[in-house]
Amino acid sequence: MESKDRSMKKRENKRLIFLLIGFFLFFGFAETYSFPLKVRDDLGREIEFVRKPERIVSLSPSNTEILFALGLGSHIIGVTDHCNYPDAVREKLRVGGFANPNIEKIIALDPDLILAFGLLQKPIVRLLENRGKKTFWVNPHSIKDIFDSIERIGRITGAVSEAKHLKQMMKERLSILEEKLKDITERKRPTLFRIMGLDPLGTVGGDSFQTDVFHLAGGKNVFGDIKRDYFEVDEKALFERNPEVILICGEDEERLKERVREHPVLKNLSSVKRDRIFVISCDLICRPGPRVVEAIERISGYLYSERFHPQRIISLGPSISESIYLLGLGDRLVGVTTYCERPPDVRLKEKVGSVIEVDIEKIVALKPDIVLATSLTNPKAVKKLRRLGIRVVRLSSPKNFEELCEQFLELGRISGRELIAREIVEEVKAKVSHLRQGVKGLPMPKVFVQVGAKPLFTVVGDSLINDFIKFAGGLNIAQNSLSGFYTREEVLRSDPDIIIIVTMGISGEQEMEIWQRYRTLPAVRNNRIYIFDSYRLCSPTPVSFVETLEKLISLLHPEKRSK
């Protein structure tokens, strides 16, 4: 035992020695700049700093993030309302918005350094300088400029070594990307249209650092040849350039995608029709700071998912889990929700919560490369996971068969199995077309689908289940309903031939007993009330869609079975 203890102690001592060596290498021989010193800002002014600043006001989120990354959080005495990262910034005093900071509030804080950024704050610099406040303005137009901003901010704050280390870490991550994309020629780069506003339609040009972001991600700004930072887009020019991917920033992925799909101009682009819409957090893409590398990584992962296909996947939805198995990636699935039950093997996977509420700690412990969330996943959980640096892709609930197939293709792109996904979708579409042809011209039974009991709830025309009924040769009696809320009186008036009860949080047998009291209904008289598990109708994969459609056709058209 003593021998074992001595061995462990020896190993611990070795670790300690290596840590101390690293410490002295980093700090003991660090590059230093003594004060006073002069540094040029992006207005071309050579500004003298007599001593290291101790009280700093940051007027932009990107500069705030740089300061924290350099270990200068304790020196920050004021930030803007938009500064929200890292969490420690919440304790800082607010001095107003980005475009209109409160000058008097800033002066009252008595800072010895104010960091300003961008064209909107250019006029503010003179106002502050006239009040005797040293203001340093940066306005990067490329990734190189961002590195330069970090270096200069490090110099004027006495954090030279920290700035050098931060740059090195960022460059190392970019070099990994560069290696993966080294064979991508200029002609192979997909063109991106960056939406900077929907009304009016705006974008970025070659003078924006975002153009460099797209290039390092393996793409190309479709308007990169226009040497401007931001400008409004001419509709004709947009269609002539025909971008392959649409990129928009925000936090509500589903709402933003829907706005793009419904936009009077954008909806006609081929990229939108193919649902090649990528949503990224504004905090990542709009801030020329340390996290710009994460933005590049995420965009690159979307454009070249086959090169960045994840090895450790967590699925937060039943149909997603089933789709992962269909793509032959069941062995990469490391975590699922309690509702994931198909195929049977998935039940052996680690559970990370329910469809709505997930266990953040468990997910982090599983070290996933990607988390595939649904529209039902708690948005706060998604946001927290992303803040922890975990890649989360949120997949919307498909409203029709086409969207279901497109989502499956998206999973294929994300996982590097796009060719397999495309083969499956093509086969499924051929089968669905054949099945629809088989019921063409047959009488259309009226169908009522019940998915909720208290209150009674059904499915409307803009839903995947409506496609099931329509493709099976039936008529959904509630297809023109606006809300989905229904009364039994409305059902009685519509006189359905068939009632389908979906067991989504309700007892199918109990609801069947209730309906059987209404003996005048054709569905009751002819014993045509059917119970379906919710997974069949509410969360299918393209493959299970065909299986369920075949079942529905046999129920809606029993005459076909007898032939």
CATH number at residue 510: 3.40.50.1980
**The domain containing residue 71 runs over which residues?**
37-140+148-156
- Do both 226 and 288 map to the same domain? yes
Q: Which two tokens stand for residue 174?
A: 């970019």
**Residues 126, 64, 369, CA angle at the centre, nearest 5°?**
145
Residues 6+ apart with CB under 8 A from 21: none
Question: How does pLDDT run across 366-391, given as a tens digit for each residue?
Answer: 999 899 999 889 989 998 998 888 88
Residue position matching structure tokens 């468990």: 362
Residue 539 in domain: yes
- Do both 472 and 394 map to the same domain? no
Residues 6+ apart with CB under 8 A from 262: none
Q: What is the distance between the alpha carbons of residues 509 and 504, in angstroms, rounded to a whole number? A: 13
Residue 231 in domain: yes
- Do both 443 and 551 map to the same domain? yes
Q: Of 404, 401, 395, 350, which is closest to residue 377 (Cα–Cα)? A: 395
Q: What is the distance between the alpha carbons of residues 104 and 129, in angstroms, rounded to a whole number? A: 13
Q: Which two tokens stand for residue 539?
A: 């969360």
Whether a cis peptide bond, with omega within 30° of 0, leads into 53 is no
Largest CA distance in the chain: 95
Residue 31 in domain: no
Alpha carbon dihedral 337, 339, 343, 348, in 10-degree steps, equals 50
- Do both 445 and 415 map to the same domain? no
Q: What is the distance between the alpha carbons of residues 324 and 370, in angstroms, rounded to a whole number? A: 13
Give the torsion sign (CA, 306, 326, 396, 270).
positive
Phi first, then psi: give them for residue 533, nearest 5 degrees: -65, 145
If one counts every other C-beta atom within 10 angstroms of the C-beta of residue 136, the result is 26
Q: What is the distance between the alpha carbons of residues 514 and 508, in angstroms, rounded to a whole number? A: 10
- Do both 468 and 386 map to the same domain? no
Q: What is the distance between the alpha carbons of residues 273 and 250, in angstroms, rounded to a whole number? A: 21
> Using an 8 Å Cβ cutoff, are 540 and 404 in contact?
yes
- Do both 298 and 320 map to the same domain? no
DSSP H/E element including 542: helix 542-556
Q: Of 136, 124, 14, which is closest to residue 63 (Cα–Cα)? A: 136
Residue 5 in domain: no
Helices then strands, counting H and E runs in the chain, come out as: 24, 22
> Using an 8 Å Cβ cutoff, are 394 and 259 in contact?
no
Residue 135 in domain: yes
- The amino acid at 285: I
What angle do the packed helices 209-216 and 160-180 form, to 10 degrees?
A: 50
Q: What is the distance between the alpha carbons of residues 59 and 100, in angstroms, rounded to a whole number? A: 10
Q: CB burial class (10 A; 0-12, 13-18, 19+) of residue 473?
A: buried
DSSP 484: -
Residue that finishes a domain, picked among 303, 333, 349: 303
- Do both 452 and 557 map to the same domain? yes
Residue 107 in domain: yes
Residue 2 in domain: no
Residue 124 in domain: yes
- Do both 323 and 297 map to the same domain? no
Cα 195–chain centre separation = 16
Q: Which two tokens stand for residue 441?
A: 């011209």
- Do both 194 and 110 map to the same domain? no
- Do both 326 and 291 map to the same domain? no
- Do both 365 and 402 map to the same domain? yes
- Do both 317 and 293 map to the same domain? no
Residue 373 forms beta bridges with which residues? 394
Alpha carbon dihedral 9, 14, 17, 22, in 10-degree steps, equals -130
Residue that finishes a domain, picked among 280, 303, 326: 303
Considering its fold, how many domains does the chain have in total?
Answer: 4
> Using an 8 Å Cβ cutoff, are 82 and 63 in contact?
no
Going residue by residue through the chain (563 aa), what tens digit of pLDDT does each one get? 444 434 433 443 344 333 333 433 344 444 455 789 999 999 999 999 999 999 999 999 999 999 999 999 999 999 999 999 988 899 999 999 999 999 999 999 999 999 999 999 999 999 999 999 999 999 999 999 999 999 999 999 999 999 999 999 899 889 878 988 999 999 999 999 999 999 999 999 999 999 999 999 999 999 999 999 999 999 999 999 999 999 999 988 889 999 999 999 999 999 999 999 999 999 999 999 999 998 999 999 889 877 777 889 999 999 999 999 999 999 999 999 988 888 999 999 999 988 788 999 999 999 998 999 998 899 899 989 988 888 888 887 888 898 899 889 889 878 878 889 999 999 999 999 999 999 999 999 999 999 888 788 899 888 899 999 999 999 999 998 888 898 889 999 999 999 999 986 667 888 899 999 999 999 999 999 999 988 888 889 999 999 999 999 999 998 776 55
Q: What is the DSSP string of 23-64?
A: HIIIIIT----PSSEEEE-TTS-EEEESS---SEEE-SHHHH
Phi first, then psi: give them for residue 48, nearest 5 degrees: -95, 135
